[in-house]
Each structure stands twice: as structure tokens, then as C-alpha cells.
Amino acid sequence: MFIVTGGAGFIGSNIVRALNVQGIDEILVVDNLEDSRKFVNLRDCEIWDYMDKREFHSMLESRRFDAKVDAILHQGACSDTMEYDGRYMMENNFSYSKVLLHYAVEHRIPFVYASSAAVYGNGKSFAEKPANEKPLNVYGYSKLLFDQYVRRVMPGAESTVVGLRYFNVYGPNEAHKGRMASIVYQIYCQLKDKGIARLFQGSDGYANGEQRRDFVYVDDVVDVNLFFALGPPRKGIFNVGTGHSRSFNDVANTWISLLGFGEITYIPFPDELRGKYQSLTEADISALRRAGYEKSFTSLEKGIARYYKVFTEEGL
């Protein structure tokens, strides 16, 4: 059995679907469906069982969970970078993750979990080194703190323990994320709704709309997860991105080209984001390559074209 936490969410549901494609349906999805909109992400998937996150957490802590587990793909987290309730963030992203980690290590179960490029803050170097890790918000700090904890536990583990620092992931099943959905999705919605993509004016030395991110298509992220979960034992924390940053203008112009209409307007940079915003992300994927992952990553243009095909098939 495979356990996918956050399995009804964006990346988690895409992992479930990818496992199904490989003929695997003995999957326990763990999630919190208080936001019931997420159910649509699973309605075309085959799973063995569903469990509420709180029940699962309780069963692990009380040692009442007993099943043969092939791998744990831990995607569940609070991913809202504007969430300021530090206690809530640490309970979800740190304490819960520690319980899962220790269960996996104790039972020698491959454990692959979602970290984040948010650990790098507004730095310019993105290799997986402590000197580069300076998060700007409590979300980034919660991810960094767990990474640091994992680094201490990892040497004693006899099975796979891998953290994946996702850069700016986009693709199907992210609509429920609202304001935390990718800028790729948000620009598409703006253009479809009013024909105008609203990008930030210049900030941090970048011209209008030239803030840059490493946009990585969700299928590539899923593939990296399965590479580690299904492969031989490996340990480490790895960036997951294309290795190339692209501007928000690039995203908007790609959508405009596909849609055949639209224009860009630039809005003032929000005061509440000053000092808390990553104007550049660009993954250093050298460590990922050294770990044996050799596949190419999807370009922004090809990824958006694939995303657009999904929208048109769904009539969106």
C-alpha cells in the first residue's frame, strides 16, 4: 500500500493519478476535506481508502496504525505563505511531519516529502546549502525547520528519506488553492475573465513584470517523487525545478499567444509584500542530477500548452 498525504490536493492528487497509471490502486489518501472543493481532484482516481489527517495522525502517535506500506509520499501541509498563525503552521508542517518521518524510519518505509523553495527567501543562490537558507515567512521557516530535523535523523535511516524543495509548481488540480494557486493559473483566469493580465510593477531592481520564477510543471514534480519512492534507497534533500527562471511577462505573453487575445497591465507592488516576496527563484538541480535523475524538465511554453489543453478539454 502507498500512503499519499495531502492526496486530495494539487500535487498529491496528481501523484495518485500517476500511481494509477502504473497499475497501482492500493493507495491510502490522507487529507483534510473541510475544504470540500478538493474532492473533484480525486473523482477520476482509484484508491484503496481515505482517512482524515487528524485520525491518521492520532493512529500513528498511538501506534494503532498497522499496515504493510510500500512508500509514504508526504505532500500534506499548510502552503499559505501569508498565514501568520505560527502555531498552526508548525503543528501542520513540522510536528505532524516528524511523526510521519519517525514511523517511516522505524519501519524502513521509503519516505519522500514536500519541502519548498521558500526556504531560500530572497537570496540569489539556490543550492541546498545552509548558507542559502533564509526564509521570509513562517511557512518557509516551517519547511526549513523540518529539513534541518531530517538532516539530523537521516544518517541513521536504513531506507529512503528524501526531501524535495519544490519551486513554482503549476498544472491541473490547483484551482482550489485560491490566492495560493500558481501565477500561471492566476494569469490564465485574469485573461479569460477580463482579457487583462495584471502583473506587478518593478520591484527589487526588476522592471515591470520582470520578476522571475522557476516554473515547473506538475507532471515533472510527480515524476521526481516516484523516482525516489519506487527506486533503491536514497537519502538527501533536493531541489525540484527546471533550473531556469522565467519572467511573469513570459507567462502572460505565452497565454496571450495561445488564447489569441489579451494585454498586460502593471499594478503597484503591494506594501504588505515588501520584504516578504521572492522576486527570483531558480533551482540549482546539480544534486538531483547526481542522485541519478536524468529526465529533461518541461519548458514553460510546452507546460502552458499542456495546461491549456486540459482547460479546453474541461470547457474552462
pLDDT in tens, 138-151: 899 999 999 999 99
**Residues 87, 194 within the same domain:** no
Question: Is the whole-model pTM more than 0.85?
Answer: yes
For position 79, what pLDDT does the model report?
Answer: 65
- 113 shares a domain with 192: no
- Phi, psi (5° rounding) for residue 187? -65, -40
Please check whether residue 41 is in contact with residue 8, taking contact to mean a CB–CB distance below 8 angstroms.
Answer: yes
Q: DSSP label at 178?
A: G
| Pair (258, 117) in one structural domain | no
Structure-block grid coordinates of residue 164: 524535495
Which residues does 20 contact at the CB level (< 8 Å), separation at least 6? 27, 45, 46
Helix (H) or strand (E) holding 31: strand 27-31
Counted domains in the chain: 2
| pLDDT attached to residue 121 | 93
Which residues are annotated as catalytic?
139, 177
Q: Are 181 and 69 found together in one domain?
A: no
- Which residues in the chain show pLDDT less than 70? 78-85
Kindly report the CATH number assigned to the domain that includes residue 111: 3.40.50.720
Q: How far apart are CA 201 and CA 291, in angstroms?
A: 39
DSSP SS3 for 247: strand
Give yes or no: residues 110 and 187 share one domain.
no
CA–CA separation, 23 and 46 (whole Å): 10
Whether 221 and 195 map to the same domain: the answer is no
Query: Same domain for 208 and 232?
Result: no
Based on the fold, state whether residues 160 and 207 are members of the same structural domain: no
Q: What pLDDT score does 80 carry?
A: 61
Indicate whether 182 and 239 sit together in one domain.
no
Is 26 part of any domain? yes
Alpha helices in 77-236 (DSSP H): 86-90, 96-106, 138-153, 183-194, 218-229
Question: Is residue 316 in some structural domain?
Answer: no
**What's the pLDDT score for residue 35?**
84
Domain that holds residue 25: 2-170+215-243+282-297
- Does residue 12 share a domain with residue 45? yes
Residues 50 and 147 in one domain: yes
What is the spatial distance between Cα 12 and Cα 21, in angstroms, rounded to a whole number?
A: 14
Would you say residue 315 lies in a domain? no
Angle between helices 218-229 and 10-21 (to 10 degrees): 60
For 103, the grid coordinates are 514511523
91 and 187 in a common domain: no
pLDDT of residue 83: 60
